[in-house]
């Protein structure tokens, strides 16, 4: 599994029949900064992932890629390479909390 921030959504009106009704999210992977492990740095790529948990823009999520993505309920026969499998509440690195959803919440 990997961590990412939801950057937005993707709308595709024409797609494989097994993808009908699936919410697609645009993810930016978040990496623990190797120079300063008390913070994240954004990855350079973006990933389109199927949302299986009801995530929204701005949230930190966990996602799976590859054959593991199709293990999510209802995706066994879908052409899916990435799926959001959790919404992150907090991340702790080296005994220090570097992310908290409650601190990121917008009024």
Domains along the chain with CATH numbers: 2-104 (2.40.50.220)
The confidence score (pLDDT) of residue 50 equals 92
The confidence score (pLDDT) of residue 87 equals 97
Radius of gyration of the chain (CA): 15
The confidence score (pLDDT) of residue 44 equals 94
Q: What is the pLDDT along the chain (107 residues), one digit of tens a residue?
A: 999 999 999 999 998 888 888 899 999 999 999 999 989 999 999 999 999 999 999 999 999 987 766 666 666 777 778 999 999 999 999 899 999 998 876 54
The confidence score (pLDDT) of residue 73 equals 64
Angle ∠(41,9,81) on CA atoms, nearest 5: 75
**The CA-based dihedral angle spanning residues 27, 20, 76, 42, taken in that order and rounded to the nearest 10 degrees:** 0
Backbone angles phi, psi at 72, to 5 degrees: -65, 145
Task: State both tokens at 15.
Answer: 């797609």
């Amino acid at each position: 599994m990997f961590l990412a921030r939801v950057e937005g959504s993707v709308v595709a009106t024409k797609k494989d029949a097994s993808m009908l009704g699936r919410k697609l999210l645009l993810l930016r992977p978040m990496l623990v900064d190797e120079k300063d492990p008390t913070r994240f740095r954004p990855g350079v790529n973006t990933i389109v992932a199927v949302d299986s948990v009801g995530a929204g823009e701005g949230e930190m999520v966990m996602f799976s890629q590859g054959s593991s993505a199709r293990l999510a309920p209802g995706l066994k026969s879908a052409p899916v390479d990435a799926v959001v499998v959790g919404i992150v509440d907090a991340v702790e690195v080296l005994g220090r909390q570097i992310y908290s959803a409650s601190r990121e919440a917008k009024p």
